[in-house]
Structure 1
Amino acid sequence: MSDHGQADLVTEAFEAQRERLRAVAFRMLGSHADAEDVVQEAWLRLSRQDAAAIHNLGGWLTTVVGRISLDVLRSRQSRPEASYGDRLPGIVVLDEEAEPEEEAVLADSVGLALLVVLQSLKPGERLAFVLHDLFAVPFDEIGRILGKSADAAKMLASRARGKVRATEREPVSGREQRQVVRAFRAAVRDGDFGELLRVLDPEVKLTVDTPGGEVVVLGATEIAGRARLFSGAAAREREVLVGGLPGFMSWRADGTPLSILYFTVTGDRITAITALTDAAHLTAMNLSP
């Protein structure tokens, strides 16, 4: 077969794997943009290989995507000052008139709650759990990616599985989540400290993404005491979905974006808040009030 014909076969074989590889990378990284970058890098690495010598192309590509994703996760850990805005999920500004239950279809099939939990896992745990539990990759292959034994990979997956199960609670509908967030907004607007404590989980975590890095505040009392952070100069607000999570975006009177807040709601309380305040990132999103 000619070199051109062989290249066409390799391209066709890769394209047949693309969606699966993108799904693996997204579940590893929680970012569609990063997942696309990882899949593209996997293609570049394949193009430099003798594809005829690869007996299991799907397995080879999964291993490559796993290794690249692991490097990205470790890089994030070593650069905690990097802005979360760079890997922000998609944002949808909701219609003010509608009750957008249909917006739930925008959520990725992995499940938003699971993505939130996965972000708290260590890189090795996340890789072992995602590849084995979500994509049925054998532990010996996972071990090779991690540079560990199959038993060590199995232990990492088991540890991750335990953390995931520990966070599982009764699911809450999108409508119920938005009602909790609306109660939070009303309490902030009214300066109702008691209502804020009612809707905030005692161990709630606030992460504020600023140009200078992330600022973390822990605990309902601390966060309720800083409620002015959530209002201030806002002249206009709209409900949004951030990667499917409920939130709201604020603009100043001159139409420039002020902040995006989005929430993790468990039961009838808010367990995590992320506030994006980096003006450059907000402006680049080009979301009008």
Structure 2
Amino acid sequence: MPDTLAETFEAQRDRLRAVAHRVLGSSADAEDVVQEAWLRLSRQDATAIENLEGWLTTVVGRLSLDVLRSRRSRPEATYDEIVVTADDGPAPEEDAELADSVGLALLVVLESLGPNERLAFVLHDLFAVPFEEIARILGKSAGATKMLASRARRKVRAPARPAAAGREQRAVVQAFLTAARDGDFEELLRVLDPDVRLTVDTPDGVVVVLGATNVAAGARIGAAAGGRAVFVGGLPGVVAWREDGTPLSVVAFTVVSGRITGIASVADPVKLASMDLPEPPETVGPPR
């Protein structure tokens, strides 16, 4: 029986890891949650579990919820898996690692959600878990759970993941950076989609700015900071440093049909410190 139970669990492991990874944004935390789920299952009378898949989803959901709630009282870095590489040649090929990553834009928005909202959104919208099951995990009614997911959905408004950065996308981003540096408001409006969404993860929480006019008006805030063009999870971006060489921000741009539709930025020093970033240029200057 133990061997059969272990084999049954192994058949579910990849799905459970995917659920925990999407909820938590960290593969290390996801592995810990899945391992704890196995330990709890091994202590159960499996013959008394009618729906093992549902039982495991519930356990992983509750464990993930505990991790999210602990982060609220004890903030942790969650961006260590975002792949940032210098833009010093051809754009990186889309690969399995990038395709499976949460992505900076979605991760920044997920960070703005409360634990209950985040769990309800991920389980229902990304894994099609019925609201009745999610409600049991949260200890709420199905109606209240639907409202949580709906509220989260409005905040996320995440587009489909674009292809890896190409020459045209990088040119659009460079035009934006140049316009921001020069204070060219009209050019900023030209390269920004009218409904562009800017999300910034700061030490005080996530700030969201909507619309081309508002984003363009604030674009010069970081324009004078030293920086370097990079790829962030395969998307065009920029890393800026302070004069002492510590990172100031990491920004990723989503470009669709020649315009920037989304800008995701991390400006929290704790989270920046967890990221594997390229070395700053010897002379810190505007992004090139």
TM-score (norm 1): 0.70
1:82 partner letter: P
> What is the 5 A alignment of 1:129-208?
129-150=121-142, 153=145, 159=150, 163=154, 167=157, 173-174=163-164, 175=166, 177-201=169-193, 204-208=197-201
Cα distance, 1:239–1:23 mapped onto 2, change above 3 Å: same
Cα distance, 1:189–1:155 mapped onto 2, change above 3 Å: closer
The question of 1:271 aligning with 2:253 is answered: no
Distance in structure 2 (CA, Å) of the matches to 1:44 and 1:286 = 33
- The number of residues matched between the two structures is 273
Tell me by how many angstroms 1:91 deviates. Answer: 1.4
Counterpart among 89, 94, 101 of residue 97 in structure 1: 89
- Is residue 117–residue 167 contact of structure 1 (8 Å, CA) maintained in 2? no
Tell me by how many angstroms 1:98 deviates. Answer: 0.5
Where in structure 1 are there 5+ consecutive unaligned residues? none
Secondary structure of the corresponding residue to residue 60 of structure 1: helix
1:207 partner letter: V
Distance in structure 1 (CA, Å) of the matches to 2:144 and 2:275 = 42
Distance in structure 2 (CA, Å) of the matches to 1:223 and 1:95 = 24
Distance in structure 2 (CA, Å) of the matches to 1:133 and 1:215 = 22
Distance in structure 1 (CA, Å) of the matches to 2:83 and 2:21 = 16
- Aligned residue in 2 for 1:11: 6
- Aligned residue in 2 for 1:45: 40
- Is residue 28–residue 130 contact of structure 1 (8 Å, CA) maintained in 2? yes
Tell me by how many angstroms 1:133 deviates. Answer: 4.6
Distance in structure 1 (CA, Å) of the matches to 2:126 and 2:43 = 29
Q: Relative contact order (C-alpha < 8 Å, sep 6+): which is higher? A: 2
Give the aligned CA root-mean-square deviation in angstroms. 4.1
Tell me by how many angstroms 1:42 deviates. Answer: 2.0
Cα distance, 1:273–1:201 mapped onto 2, change above 3 Å: farther
Tell me by how many angstroms 1:286 deviates. Answer: 4.1
Percent identity, aligned pairs only, is: 53
TM-score (norm 2): 0.70
Distance in structure 2 (CA, Å) of the matches to 1:139 and 1:169 = 23
Cα distance, 1:49–1:87 mapped onto 2, change above 3 Å: farther
- Is residue 26–residue 81 contact of structure 2 (8 Å, CA) maintained in 1? yes
Tell me by how many angstroms 1:19 deviates. Answer: 0.8
- Is residue 112–residue 245 contact of structure 1 (8 Å, CA) maintained in 2? no
- Aligned residue in 1 for 2:65: 70
